[in-house]
Chains A and B, each alone.
Chain A
Amino acid sequence: MRRTVLWKALCHGLLTMGFAATTAFAQMGNAPKELRMLESGGPSGDSIEQAYIKPFTEKTGIRVVRESPTSTGKLQAMVQSGKITSTLVELGATNVVMARTLGLIEPLDWNAINPGPLFEEAKWPDAFGYQYFSTIMVWRKGEKPLATWADFWNVKEFPGKRALPDYPSYTLALALLADGVKPEELYPLDVDRAFASLEKIKDHVAVWWKAGAQAPQLLEDREVAYSAAWSGRIVENDKLDYTYNQGLLMLSYFVVPKGADPAAKSAAMGLLHEMSLARNQAVAAEVIPYTGASTEIEAAIDPAKASLYPTSEANKKVQALADPVWTATNAKEIEKRWQQFKLGL
């Protein structure tokens, strides 16, 4: 009798061990050799490759394949078709909120990411803030410099044509800053007041630009005297001058599409960990003058270049942080009013 019980216990034990072993093996087989991400391409993509993917692949042996460009439409297509072809997708802050509302993204595993110290706005439950950029005032070297958006609106003292972004989420905020609204009180945007403010400047705006490359081109071509522009290509352009004062600070995020493969997702958390480290972000900033969300970035970058970056101490405190939640919730309405405004130009 005891031998039978012992025999049964041994069999059970062996079977259990066998199960455990096979599941462990199976999970090891699931670990991906390759990770795919959707990002915006260009120099920004290069910065991800050099600063984050390289150390990640060295540590884990997992290859990362980048695909570009990215858009909310592509994310929706991925999720709705059921074929998640990219584990990480890059989106602007407003688009992240829209994607969240549409149920397209999953919460991140912040324990697995185990990030270095980051600014608060970069740590959303379902999105990882990886790159700051600013919309700032720019002009040709030698022209009268601006200090505030009110100056930008002041055509008498600062004559010349202007260029503004053809994106209401940026331009309405700038219009309010020009009208005297304090950066902390910017959101929720008083849309009526913003459009009233735009009425004052609209006859002097020669171009409402859509592509980031247009702004510096317009300035160099002498098409306009003053422009709002994205900081990335402006700060290293030696023909142009700028100020971060009253700049609009925004964040780009990485999200995980709903339905992504869990093994791939946990591997991706490792990549996000690399993105949180100040020393990696410093490498990225060399490729493209945007900074990551690390609070320790100031110490890692070349102090002579600190003034170039959106989140260096001096620059961050004079800017207004955009509110993507408000912008996303009201996106459809302000877009319609914006198109109406442009038709009336």
Chain B
Amino acid sequence: MSAPRHISANPAVAWVNRTALALSGIGVLVFLALPVVIVVPMSFSSASSLRFPPESFSLRWYAEVFGDPRWLQAMNTSLVLALLSSTLALVLGGLAAYGLVRGRFFGRMVVQSNFIAPLIIPSVVIAVGLYFALAYVGALGSFGGLLLGHTLLGVPYVVLIMSVAFRSFDIRIEQVAFTLGASWFTMFRRVLIPNLLPSTAAAWIFAFVTSFDEVVITTFISGTHETVPKRMFNELVLQVNPSITAIATLLIALSLALMGLAAHLMRRSRLATRPGS
């Protein structure tokens, strides 16, 4: 803390600034977390409609979810679909983003706009277009077709985020790696990605969540495959049932577990790459 005492570094002003920042940060966090704080207790409520705070507690909604093979099947389908499509989007989109940023070919802006386009085109229009394409090749109602649709939706997030990340990464670090003898692939794997892990993680999470929440395209092309959002939207048109809060809570628990695992793995890898180990 050897910052020089500046004339306008009035400690009172600095304190006000810091407190204001902290308050606004906490305020926004509360705003963001409010639905979570509501939804989790509601899932343990015994009421048959959405009430907060719950008057009495019970596990009936969890029993209903776990006892219904259709919900379990839907959750399985959704998880597998989201995992596969987000990873696929990350690989395809991440590589493409690198090519866009470091490459020097004609029409880069057009290509990048094309990659972002699935975000801009209303999903209901993509749904119909995809329906015809899949019908033409006979893949309608197949898991592969669904995977394609979800991957297409994840790609724009990956390209957008990774483009910014690559662009802000000093190219000279890459060049140093090359002069030290690394192949491009080694450089990518051991220099670029580890340094850009936060952005990579953000991109993957966006793609995953998008797939998990996707309903419009899924209703058109999924045939008899049921995903969680598709079931939820279908049923909720008729009645609001707190079993959706149970599912939401399960997902929160799952994501907490995943993040804990990720943090643990990152700590271990950091320990492993410490100098002298």
User: In the complex, A touching B, CB below 8 Å?
Assistant: yes
Interface status of B224 (Cβ within 8 A of chain A): yes
Q: Is the CB of A65 within 8 A of B224?
A: yes
Please pick, from A41, A83, A233, the residue contacting B234 in the complex, using a CB distance under 8 A.
A41
With contacts A82-B135, A220-B49 taken as known, whether A67 is within 8 angstroms of B224 at the C-beta atoms is: yes
Q: How many residues of B contact A (CB 8 A)?
A: 21
A226 to chain B, nearest CB (A): 19
Residues of A within 8 A of B136 (CB): 81
Residues of B within 8 A of A44 (CB): 238
Q: Is the CB of A81 within 8 A of B238?
A: no
Q: Is the CB of B236 within 8 A of A211?
A: yes
Q: How far apart sit A19 and B174, CA to CA, in the bound complex (Å)?
A: 76
Q: Is the CB of A213 within 8 A of B240?
A: yes
A233 to chain B, nearest CB (A): 5
Q: How far apart sit A117 and B193, CA to CA, in the bound complex (Å)?
A: 71
Please pick, from A67, A85, A213, A220, the residue contacting B238 in the complex, using a CB distance under 8 A.
A213
Interface status of B64 (Cβ within 8 A of chain A): no
Interface status of A74 (Cβ within 8 A of chain B): yes
Interface status of B10 (Cβ within 8 A of chain A): no
Q: Is the CB of B220 within 8 A of A43?
A: no
Q: Which of A81, A216, A220, A233 has the most CB of B within 10 A?
A: A81
Interface status of B62 (Cβ within 8 A of chain A): no
Q: Is the CB of A42 within 8 A of B224?
A: no
Interface residue ranges of B196-230 to A (CB < 8 Å): 219-220, 223-224
A95 to chain B, nearest CB (A): 16
Q: Is the CB of A77 within 8 A of B131?
A: yes
Interface residue ranges of A182-218 to B (CB < 8 Å): 211-213, 216-217
Q: Is the CB of B239 within 8 A of A68?
A: no
Interface residue ranges of B118-143 to A (CB < 8 Å): 128, 131-132, 135-136, 138, 140-141
A19 to chain B, nearest CB (A): 33
Residues of A within 8 A of B236 (CB): 211, 213
Interface residue ranges of A61-110 to B (CB < 8 Å): 65-69, 73-74, 77, 80-83, 85
Q: How far apart sit A43 and B239, CA to CA, in the bound complex (Å)?
A: 10
Residues of A within 8 A of B128 (CB): 73, 77
B149 to chain A, nearest CB (A): 14
Interface status of A292 (Cβ within 8 A of chain B): no
Residues of A within 8 A of B49 (CB): 217, 220
Residues of B within 8 A of A40 (CB): 234
Q: Is the CB of B223 within 8 A of A42?
A: no
Q: Is the CB of B220 within 8 A of A77?
A: yes
Interface status of B13 (Cβ within 8 A of chain A): no
Interface residue ranges of A35-52 to B (CB < 8 Å): 40-44
Q: Is the CB of B223 within 8 A of A67?
A: yes
B200 to chain A, nearest CB (A): 36
Interface status of A232 (Cβ within 8 A of chain B): yes
Q: Scan B133-170; emit 1 where CB is below 8 A from any A CB, else 0.
A: 00110101100000000000000000000000000000
Q: How far apart sit A158 and B181, CA to CA, in the bound complex (Å)?
A: 84
Q: Is the CB of B237 within 8 A of A213?
A: yes
Q: Is the CB of B141 within 8 A of A77?
A: no
With contacts A41-B235, A43-B238, A233-B239 taken as known, whether A81 is within 8 angstroms of B224 at the C-beta atoms is: no
Which A residues are within 8 Å of any B CB, using their own CB? 40-44, 65-69, 73-74, 77, 80-83, 85, 211-213, 216-217, 220, 232-233
Subset of 20 A-B contacts with CB under 8 Å: A40-B234, A43-B235, A43-B238, A43-B239, A65-B224, A67-B224, A69-B219, A77-B220, A81-B131, A81-B132, A81-B140, A82-B135, A85-B140, A85-B223, A213-B240, A216-B239, A217-B49, A217-B50, A217-B240, A233-B238
Which 5 pairs between the two chains have the least Cβ-Cβ distance?
A: A81-B135, A41-B234, A83-B135, A42-B238, A77-B131
